[in-house]
Structure 1
C-alpha cells in the first residue's frame, strides 16, 4: 500500500480515539461504516450491536474527557489486505478498563471506514 493509504487510516484512527474519548457520535459516524458490526468478545459480557444502537450508547455516555481521565491509546498494527480491505489492531484505556480492538476496514466510496469492531477489555495494565 502507499504512504497515502497509511496516512488516511492513521487520520481515521485519530478520529476514532478522539471520538471515543469525547463521546462524540457525530465524529464517530465519520469513522464507522453504516453497516457496522460492534462485537464485545469478553467472556460473560458478549455483545452484538449495530451502528445506531452503538451510537445511542455513545450519546448516553459521560465522556472520559469530561472526567479528565488520562488518555492512553495506540495503534499497534495496520495491515492492508488489498486496495479495499485493511485491519487495525489498537489499544486504549478508558472508563477504568483497557481495551484491545480488532478493527476491519473497507473502502466506503473514497474513504476508509470501520465495518467491524471486535474487542475485549483486559486488565488496565499495558
Structure 2
C-alpha cells in the first residue's frame, strides 16, 4: 500500500512542477485542495492567500517555460502520517529565486491534494 501511495504523491508532484513551470492554473487546480492555504514565510515578504487569489496571480505571470528557463526541481522528502496525510519537502528554482516548499497533502477519496503550501525563497545571483 505505501508504494502505491508514494507513487500517487510522486505523480502529483510531477503535475505540481509542470503547472508551476508552465504557469498553468488548470493543472495546479488539479493538485491543490479547494481550501488551499498558501503561505510565504520569507521575512519581509510574508503572504497568506487562498486558492482563487493564488491562481489569479499564476494566470498573470509569464511562464518560466516561455522565458526559456531550464527546469530545476526536486522532491527532497515524502513522509506519510497515515493513509490520508502526507508531507512533501520540495525545492525548485524559477523566476530568479530558489524556493523551498513544505507541502501538506490530504487524501480525499482516492485523490491526493495539497491543502497547505508553506514556502520560503532566496534570490539567485546568476
Q: Shared topology, TM-score over 0.5?
A: yes
Do 2:96 and 2:123's aligned partners in 1 also have CA atoms closer than 8 Å? no
* Per-residue Cα deviation, 1:27-66 (whole angstroms, up to 9, x for no partner): 0011000000000000000000000000000100100000
Matched position secondary structure for 1:42: coil
* Per-residue Cα deviation, 1:75-126 (whole angstroms, up to 9, x for no partner): 000000011100000000000000000000001221000000000002538x
* CA RMSD, 1 decimal: 1.1
TM-score by length of 2: 0.96
Gaps of 5+ in 2: none
Matched position secondary structure for 1:67: coil
Displacement over 3 Å in runs of 4+: none
- Give the match for residue 54 of structure 2: 54
Q: Distance in 1 between matches of 2:50 and 2:109?
A: 20
| Pairs aligned (count) | 125
Gaps of 5+ in 1: none
* Residue 38 of structure 2 is aligned to residue 38 of structure 1: yes
- Give the match for residue 20 of structure 2: 20
Any residues of structure 2 matched to 1:91-110 within 5 Å, and which? Answer: 91-110=91-110
Matched position secondary structure for 2:69: coil
Any residues of structure 2 matched to 1:6-17 within 5 Å, and which? Answer: 6-17=6-17
Matched position secondary structure for 1:116: strand
Q: How much does 1:70 deviate? A: 1.4
